[in-house]
Amino acid sequence: MESPAATLARRLAEEAEAVCRHYLPNGRRQGRYWIAGDVENSPGRSLYVRLIGPASGPGAAGRWTDAATGAFGDLLDLIAANRRHGSLRDTLDEARRFLNLPRPAPVPTQAPPAPTRTVQAARRLWAMGQPIVGTLADRYLAARGLTDLGALPALRYHPACFHRGDDHPRAAPPQRWPALLAKVTDLDGRLTGLHRTWIDPVSAGKAPVIPPRKAMGHLLGHGVRIGSGTDMLAAGEGLETMLALRRAVPVLPIVAALSASHLAALTLSAALRRLYIAADRDAAGLAAADRLATRAAAEGIEAIRLLPRLGDFNDDLVTFGLSDLRAHLRPQLTPEDAGTLLTQHGD
C-alpha cells in the first residue's frame, strides 16, 4: 500500500511545472526542466527540476538536483527545503494545501500525540528518563555541592531532551541536549508536571541555551517533592536551593515550587503542623515567603522562615561548605527540630 508521502509526491510530480512556478517563481522553464538558483528560489542556474518523465525510476518527473551543493530529491523534499519545515507533517500539510486535498481524518484507534506543556506530555517524557546515578545529571548536581543525595525518585536523567527556546523558529527542528528531569507532583503523589534543566555535555554545567530551564504541565499549587512525612515540611523556590537544604538536613521533607509565584500559591496538607520556608534573598523571594507564611498561619500551621547568607541555600553550600550551612541553619530551626534533625549528623 502506497504511503501518504509517496502518494503526495506522485501527485506533485503530475503537476511539476505548477509546483515550480509556485515555489520557485524566480526560475524559468528550459526544455524538460525548470531552472532556478536553489531550493530557496534564489536567481541562478544551479537547480534543475525535471518536468517531464516517467512516474518513477531514472528521469522521473519531479526529481531535482542542485549542481552547486549536490542536494537532490523529489518535490516533497523541495517544498520542505523551500518552506524550511522542521517536520514531515508540515510538508505533507503544505502539499495538500497546494493540491487542494483535504487532510486525512485521524485513525480513531490511535491516541493523538500529547501537545507540549501538558500533563500527558510530562508523563511521557518522565517515562523516558533513567536514574541519575552515574550520569551527566549526577555530575551537574555534584558541581553545585549536591552529592550523597542517593537515588532520589523525584529526579531522572534524559540523554537527549528536546529544547525549543521562546524565540526558536517554529519551522526549525528543536535542539537535543542532556537534561535533568524533576517530577512535579500534587499532595497525593500524582505527577502533574515536569521541570527540565538542560546540561552541557562538556562542562556538565547548564547548557548554552535560552532558557536553560523550563517547566511543563500543571504547576500551580504543586512542586518537586523529596522525602516523606506529613506534619513537617520545608518549602522553597529553586530545585538546587531545596536540594542543598536536603543535603544539610537529609531527614527533612522538602518541596521545590520552582518559582516565587508558585511558592506563594503552594497547596498545604491539612496534616501539616510546621512549615519551614526557605526564602531566596531577593524582593520576589522574600515577598513570596511572606505570602506563604500568612496563608500557613491562617490554616493553623506554624511557619518559620529560613534565610540564607547569600542569594539562596545552594549559593551558601557552594561558597561556605556543608558544615557551615548546618551551623547557619541550627539557630533558625526550633530547638526541638535542631536537636532531632541535626544531631543525627554529629552537629
HEC profile of 268-325: CCCCCCEEEEECCCCHHHHHHHHHHHHHHHHCCCEEEEECCCCCCHHHHHHHHCHHHH
Residue 243 · residue 314 · CB < 8 Å: yes
Count Cα neighbours of 41 within 13 Å in the Cβ-side half-sphere: 13
The pLDDT value recorded for residue 114 is 45
Give start-end residues of each CATH 3.90.580 domain in the chain: 4-99
Phi, psi of 267 (to 5 degrees): -75, 130
Helix axes 4-14, 88-99, angle to 10 degrees: 40
Give the model confidence (pLDDT) of 24-62 as tens digits. 999 999 999 999 999 999 999 999 999 998 888 778 999
- Checking phi first, is residue 315 left (phi over 0); if not, alpha (psi -120 to 50) or beta? alpha
**What would the mean pLDDT of 183-200 be, rounded to a whole number?**
95
Cell numbers at 107, concatenated: 485513525
Instruction: State the fold for domain 119-345.
Output: Dna Topoisomerase Vi A Subunit; Chain: A, domain 2 (3.40.1360)
Asked if residue 111 has pLDDT above 70, the reply is no
Question: For the chain, what is the mean pLDDT?
Answer: 89
CATH hierarchy code of domain 4-99:
3.90.580
Q: How many CB atoms lie within 10 A of CB 23?
A: 22
> What percent of the chain stands above pLDDT 90?
76
What are 336's three cell numbers? 526541638
Tell me how far CA of residue 126 lies from CA of 161, 175, 200, in angstroms.
11, 18, 20
What is the structure's pLDDT at 188?
Answer: 92
Cis? peptide before 153, omega within 30° of 0: no
Cβ atoms of 285 and 308 closer than 8 Å = no
Question: 347 pLDDT band (50/70/90 cuts)?
Answer: very low
